[in-house]
Structure 1
Amino acid sequence: MDRDYHVHSTYSDGRFLFQMVRAATEAGLAGVGIADHCNVSNREEIKEQKHQLGFNLDETYERRREAIQRLREESEVEIYDGVEMDYHPEEEDAIRAFLGEAEFQYTIGSVHYLDGVNVHVEPYYAEQSESDRRAAVDRYFDHLVALIESELFDVAAHVDLVERNPALRGLATERHYRRVAEAFADSPTIPELNAGRALAEYGEFHPSPAFLDVLAEYDIPITVGSDAHQPEEIGERHPHIDRYLEARGIEPATLSL
């Protein structure tokens, strides 16, 4: 692969833009997409978390765009102006309005929150009964299918994000996978192969091998994102990504930018 569409910077929870771009260049990439976290929710619990984390790309995207343009003038690698937008079905109008105004080169949609709680928060879900945890996984995939059907995004990120949470891991089923694959088959939105936890405790890419098998049955194209937040993660993850793509016989899709 020669393009990475999912890299973060200090405009959300990554490192300096120039560091991420330099790392992409050193890794031999032809293109790197800066897709910082963004949220336009008016729900109080989400706004509070947004303020705590310092995610404000909805207010700083123009400044970041200027910084990207300056880096383009001196960089050997193509730099793409993207976004990773938190999605909730009730917020489609606000998301659509913001994306129409911001005019990013490409958009990634993500489901991070269920009932105002990030799916990464293991203690919250670990305290729930198995039936409640299964219901949470059902809601996650309901939201993911709605994201795909909204056609607001070019890419859907880490499409089985619940697997990162040990309390939710293993509860997704083939039924979930097929619902998602059928939604992708009828949508311009495509999934990504996400390496965010491939070298960490989880030890797998998103989507999981079984999920990827189902997507392949439906001939769903897939793009690639390292989900790097630190410069060194780009160089560490890309050889692993390349080996996995080759082993699976996957030719990653290139976004038309």
Structure 2
Amino acid sequence: MLTDYHNHLENGTLSLDYLTKFTDKAKELGIESFGISEHAYHFYQTADILQNPWVNERRYYDMTDYEALFQKAWNHDIDVKMSIEMDYTPGKHKEMEQFIKSYDFDYVIGSIHWVGDFGIDLAEYRKEWDRRDVAQVYKAYFDQVITLAESNLFDIVGHLDLVKIFKYVPDDEEFLLEQYERATDALAKSKTCVEISTAGLRKPVGELYPDPRLLQKCFEKNIPIVLSSDAHFPEHVGANFDQALKLAKEIGYTSIMTFSKGERKEYPIG
């Protein structure tokens, strides 16, 4: 069984023609369980959850159109999961829960892209890394991983160590491993799975998410996994899955989680 649960239509259109470019690629690669998880901040219905100038310029979708697209796909016997990738926003648990419960998602991804007003993975904010204490950013980032897990709102945590995207990493390895430890402790007590994401291979860091040491702690604490490409273009669907599978098996994983309308099933890994 192969999954690819983290994919975006934002560089194209919310149309069946564009969607099928993704699903056709998944089918070609033998990915049996495939989903689209558009960024929640694009939708007018999330205006009460996340607000900042960068996000507000990019809020242009309506969930009615999103739902209609999936219904059209299902009417054409296209097997695609409907999901959302939500920016985990501290202090907005009630609003996030209300949004999640308002739609019949197959699963929901929770990700951390913002540490306060700092867009940690955005090119526009890259120079901020040189102005900030890297260890403090990591501490604040993994604080959010913990409260994300404790919220138990999400089925999957996206790119668990996205914070490393621009190769800024604390010098103190003991400190870093401590962040991994406390994050995985929290995830182990939640329903949240971790994705092995190949997106990092296409970013400056040039590595899979998560770091093998972090994934090892996930495995030791029985945290389930899925595979994801975080494709923003059809050609990136399932990209470098050979490396993701190799890492999963080296760590010791033998199974993968799948989702359908909130129900989860475990299958032997592909």
Residues 142 and 14 of structure 1: CA distance in aligned 2, closer, same or farther (over 3 Å): farther
CA RMSD in angstroms, aligned pairs only: 2.5
- Kept in 2, the 8 Å contact 1:83–1:107? The answer is yes
CA gap 1:18/1:239 in 2 versus in 1, 3 angstroms: same
Q: Which residue of 1 aligns with 2:189?
A: 186
1:226 corresponds in structure 2 to 229
Identity of aligned residues (%): 26
1:49 to 48, 54, 70: 54
Q: 1:167 to 1:75 in 2, by over 3 A?
A: same
Tell me by how many angstroms 1:56 deviates. 4.1
Q: Quote the residue 1:3 is aligned against.
A: 3
Shift in Å, 1:122: 2.1
After TM superposition, the score normalised by the length of structure 2 is: 0.83
Can you give the 5+ residue segments of structure 2 that lack an aligned partner in the other structure? 262-270
Report how far residue 197 of structure 1 moved: 1.3
CA change 1:13–1:135 in 2 (3 A) is farther
Partner of 1:214: 217
Q: CA deviation at 1:227?
A: 0.7
Q: Secondary structure at the match of 2:80?
A: strand
Give the counterpart letter for 1:144 in structure 2: V
Equivalent in the alignment of 1:252:
256
CA contact (8 A) 2:157 2:194 kept: yes
Q: Is the CA contact 1:5–1:35 (under 8 Å) kept in the aligned structure 2?
A: yes
Structure 1 residue 166: Cα displacement: 2.4
Which whole-Å deviations, capped at 9, do the CAs of 1:58-97 have from their partners, x for residues lacking one?
xx22212221222233356x20000000112111111111
Q: 2:126 aligned to 122, 126, 142, which one?
A: 122
CA gap of 1:235–1:170, structure 2 versus 1, over 3 A, is farther
Q: Structure 1 residues 256, 68: closer, same or farther in 2, change over 3 A?
A: closer
Please list, as runs of the form range in 1=range in 2, the aligned pairs for 1:72-151 lying within 5 A after superposition: 72-75=74-77, 78-120=79-121, 121-128=125-132, 132-151=133-152
Deviation track 1:38-63 (CA, whole Å, cap 9, x = no partner) reads: 1335488x3421232x2445xx2221
How much has 1:242 moved relative to structure 2? 3.0
184 and 29 in structure 1: CA distance in 2 versus 1, 3 angstrom threshold: same
Shift in CA distance, 192/13, structure 1 to aligned 2, threshold 3 Å: farther
**Is residue 237 from structure 1 mapped to residue 240 from structure 2 by the alignment?**
yes
Q: Does 1:22 align with 2:27?
A: no
The match for 1:176 is 179
Rounded to whole Å, the distance in 2 between the matches of 1:197 and 1:13 is 24
Deviation at 1:123? 0.7
What residue is the counterpart of 2:153 in the other structure? 152
Structure 1 contact 35–108 (Cα < 8 Å) conserved: yes
Gaps of 5+ in 1: none
- Aligned residue pair count: 249
Structure 2 counterpart SS, 1:146 = helix
